[in-house]
Amino acid sequence: MDIFGVPIQALMGQLMLGIVNGSFYAVLSLGLAIIFGVLKIVNFAHGAFFMLGAFTAFLLAQHLGANYWTTLLVAPLAVALFGMLFEWLFLRRLYGLDPIYGLLLTFSLVLVLEGGFRVAFGSSGQPFATPEALRGTLNLGFMILPMYRGFVIVAALLVCLVTWFVIERTSLGANLRAATERAELTQAFGIDVPRLVTLTYGVGVGLAAFAGVLAAPIFHVNPSMGSSLVIIIFAVVVIGGLGSIMGAIVTGLGLGVVEGFTRVFYSEFSSTIVFLVMVLVLLLRPAGLFGREEG
Amino acid sequence: MPAKTPLKTFALSSMVLAMGAASGAMASNGFSDDVVRIGVLTDMSGIYTDLSGEAAVEAVRMAVEDFGGEVGGVPIEVIYGDHRNRADTGASRAREWYDNDGVDMINDLSNSGVALAVAAVAEERQRHAISNSASNIGLTNDYCSPYVTHYTYDAYSLAQGTGKTIVEDGGDTWFFLTVDFAFGIGLEEQVSEVVREAGGQVVGAARHPLDTTDFSSYALQAQASGAEIIGIASTGADAINAINALSEFGVSPDQRPAALLLWYDDIVSLGLEAAQGLLLTNAFYWDADDETREFSQRFYERTGRMPNMAQAGNYSSTMHYLNAVEAAGTDDPDAVSEQMRELEINDFFASGGYIRPNGRMVHDQYLWEVKAPDESEYDYDFLRLVATIPGEEAFQPLEDSSCYLLEHNQ
């Protein structure tokens, strides 16, 4: 069976890959959306933290012989700590200033991190082995899906849902949302808002690093692996609606699928389609698909 | 009006001064600015940093030191710059170097887009440019110039090496994964020609942007094409990611990937486990003979890595340029150009090499196979020689070149 001259099998295959990519977009844009929601900082360094996650995992495996599952846990925590330190030392001095300052600071962090890793590890990257247990392939009938990619979808969605649950359904999340809306009032209730903010940045950065560890066996660990992704992630957050948690997750997955379909019909256009969608959404719904108009 | 006279006088005298300075720039000893200045224009921060970058600059510095640091009584100076893989950045840097900084020769020029743009500037400004890391054969065809030399290899030689060998080995239906700019498209064209000439068939191609991380959808397209050979017309990180994706998606046993431009550094990055059995056409391998080992050892001590073919070419071509300057007794571009085409190149890099009128340096190319991990006996022992491709066969026949300098095109 063909759809517009494309065999349905090819279409299903690309759809599946779209979901895999969409999972990365979802985890990354979720972190970005949380950070923007609470800190009002445009975290340009998100791609660099993604890369840092992958490199931390690589270094843990290389020098300490850590297995994949340990790195999946430890690397995001380590990067989150680093992110919190960065927030505590630098970023918090910029709250209340024009967002452009935050953007410039985080962008400079990208240049420093990427440049540093390029000097230390070169530009062509380091190999990262797929964990033994996930080496095989799954025959889905319409395509051969490497087991690891299937795992990526499951792990990414799980992390997204847990994050969403914590923010929307727990008291910690409630405090966080309160601090976002009325920081001073929340503080008056005896909640340590600055610590909450640091923690939020840590969680956002940790999510990026988690995606980085997930990506390491697929993408070959190299210093620029985050920079090509980060632009798309920004588009995802804008389309989903700035600061919207569910918006970021759903849009991330959705755009992965849209991109996958575009690859089937007109491959050259696949790197542009996300931005076309962004333009359309901004024209029709300036607050994004899931965003609320601020009155 | 008398009021204007002082201004006129001033203008006139500054013009005279400027003319004096201009003619003074070519000093009586035949050397402009009393220095021979070489600019290394390379990728210092992007995807091709490992292939050229800092190590390319070091190779040129080594050549200058080995030459003695001066030529015809004037010092030789090396400067470098980053083209950031952008043709416009490369061209404007080249213009600045030629016009304001007195650069006599630009070397390396990784990235075909940049190399073609700089070749046009070199022709316009009548100064030398030598490309060692770019592959597009436009440099010795439509963009050729008396001042432009294409030294180490090109897309034609890659097609004659890896491409032809695989076709002769029975791989006659091809699908290409091509990086979407001058380099990838030029390489795809050259290899397609070889495939068709041998009676094979090109069933399709997928184009991807430079610095792509996710090749999974292209891997699926390649699978669906049913082609026997999946030609990877990209290099560096792109080629590595493509090879990984193809192996991850388990390209069926009757499909084989063929990386059309692999560098020694790509093998280091892939690791022998993943890279074993891959073929590569390279003009140089550090472990080929005593001379290459001697150079490579010195290079390793300075840079911490073994030289690849472009870095070796940067050294050899700088040496050749300086020999030509010495023989000409001047850095006048026309005189040097004549000597460069006159003198034969015999060093660790090439034996009996010579530069054709269209700027193509002709020398032997080699087809290598990556060793299996258990065949590798010592550090950096990665490649086994499969075949030597004589220079005359490796490069485009002169009569096919569209270079305007050739008689048949005049």
Residue in chain B nearest A127 by alpha carbon = B270
CA B74 from centre of chain: 28
pLDDT value of position B6: 53
> Measured between alpha carbons, how far is residue A44 from residues A230, A291, B376 in Å?
8, 21, 44
pLDDT at A293 over 70: no
* CA gap A252, B409 in Å, rounded: 56
Phi, psi torsion values for B89, nearest 5 degrees: -60, -45
* CA gap A207, A211 in Å, rounded: 6
CA–CA min distance B56, chain A (Å):
14
| Contact assessment for residue B307 and residue B299, using Cβ atoms and an 8 Å cutoff | yes
Structure tokens at B21: 């300075």
Residues of A in CB contact (< 8 Å) with B are: 7, 9-10, 13-14, 17, 20-21, 115, 118, 122-127, 130, 137, 143-144, 146, 148-149, 215, 218-220, 222, 224-225, 228-229, 260, 263-264, 267-268, 270-271
Nearest to B241 among A14, A17, A219 (CB): A219
Rg over CA atoms, chain A: 19
* Subunit contact A228:B211, Cβ cutoff 8 A: yes
Q: How many Cβ atoms from other residues are within 10 Å of residue A183's Cβ? A: 17
Residue in chain A nearest B270 by alpha carbon = A127
A217-228 pLDDT tens trace: 888 788 988 987
Q: Which of A6, A123, A275 should one mutate to test binding to chain B, selecting the residue with the greatest count of B CBs within 10 A?
A: A123
- Please report residues of A whose CB lies closer than 8 A to that of B217: 14, 17, 260, 263-264, 267, 270
* Subunit contact B50:A123, Cβ cutoff 8 A: yes
Burial B132-159, CB ≥16 within 10 A → b, else e: bbbbbbbbbbebbbbbbbbbbbbbbbbb
Structure tokens at A157: 């969605």
* CA gap A160, A169 in Å, rounded: 14
Q: How many Cβ atoms from other residues are within 10 Å of residue B10's Cβ? A: 10
Handedness of CA A130, A133, A137, A140 (dihedral sign): negative
pLDDT value of position B2: 44
Nearest to A124 among B213, B214, B240 (CB): B240
Enumerate residue ranges in chain B where pLDDT < 70.
Answer: 1-28, 250-253
B151-209 pLDDT tens trace: 999 999 999 988 888 888 888 899 999 999 889 999 999 999 999 998 899 999 988 88
Nearest to A220 among B45, B244, B249 (CB): B244
A163 or B13: whose pLDDT is higher? A163
- In sequence order, the 6+-apart residues with CB closer than 8 A to the CB of A81 are A202
CA–CA min distance A143, chain B (Å):
9
Partners of B385 in the β-ladder: B368
- Grade residue A295 by pLDDT with cuts at 50, 70 and 90: very low
pLDDT value of position B21: 42
| Contact assessment for residue A257 and residue A22, using Cβ atoms and an 8 Å cutoff | yes
Longest Cα pair distance anywhere in chain A, in angstroms? 64
* Subunit contact A124:B250, Cβ cutoff 8 A: no
* Subunit contact A268:B180, Cβ cutoff 8 A: yes
* CA gap A139, B280 in Å, rounded: 33
A190 DSSP 8-state letter: T
pLDDT value of position A281: 93
To 10 degrees, what angle do helices A8-39 and A147-169 make? 30
| Contact assessment for residue B318 and residue B66, using Cβ atoms and an 8 Å cutoff | no
Partners of B150 in the β-ladder: B131, B360
What does the pLDDT average to over A232-242? 90
Q: Which of B178, B185, B211, B220 should one mutate to test binding to chain A, selecting the residue with the greatest count of A CBs within 10 A?
A: B220
- In sequence order, the 6+-apart residues with CB closer than 8 A to the CB of B239 are B232, B259, B261, B262, B266
Q: Is this prediction's ipTM beyond 0.90?
A: no
A1-50 pLDDT tens trace: 566 667 777 788 888 889 999 999 999 999 998 898 888 888 999 999 99
pLDDT at A271 over 70: yes
CA–CA min distance A244, chain B (Å):
27
| Contact assessment for residue B148 and residue B141, using Cβ atoms and an 8 Å cutoff | no
Q: Is the pTM of the predicted complex or chain greater than 0.90?
A: no
- Please report residues of B whose CB lies closer than 8 A to that of A146: 248-250
Q: Provide the mean pLDDT of chain A.
A: 89
* CA gap B359, A251 in Å, rounded: 53
> Measured between alpha carbons, how far is residue A266 from residues A244, B2, B189, B206 in Å?
31, 72, 21, 10
Burial B78-87, CB ≥16 within 10 A → b, else e: bebbbbebbb
Residue in chain B nearest A225 by alpha carbon = B213
With left for phi above 0 and alpha for psi between -120 and 50, is residue B167 left, alpha or beta?
alpha
Contacts 24+ apart (CB under 8 A), B402-405: B402/B141, B402/B142, B403/B140, B403/B141, B403/B142, B403/B144, B403/B357, B403/B358, B403/B359, B404/B144, B405/B144, B405/B145, B405/B146, B405/B357, B405/B358
Nearest to A220 among B51, B241, B268 (CB): B241
DSSP labels for B150-196? E-S--HHHHIIIIIHHHHHTT--EEEEEEESSHHHHHHHHHHHHHHH
* Subunit contact B53:A123, Cβ cutoff 8 A: yes
pLDDT value of position B26: 54
| Contact assessment for residue A197 and residue A84, using Cβ atoms and an 8 Å cutoff | no
* CA gap A92, A198 in Å, rounded: 9
Rg over CA atoms, chain B: 23
CA–CA min distance B404, chain A (Å):
34
Residues of B in CB contact (< 8 Å) with A are: 45-51, 53, 180, 206-209, 211-214, 216-218, 220-221, 224, 236-237, 240-241, 244, 248-250, 265-266, 268-271, 274
* CA gap B263, B56 in Å, rounded: 14
Handedness of CA B156, B159, B165, B167 (dihedral sign): negative
* CA gap B400, B390 in Å, rounded: 18
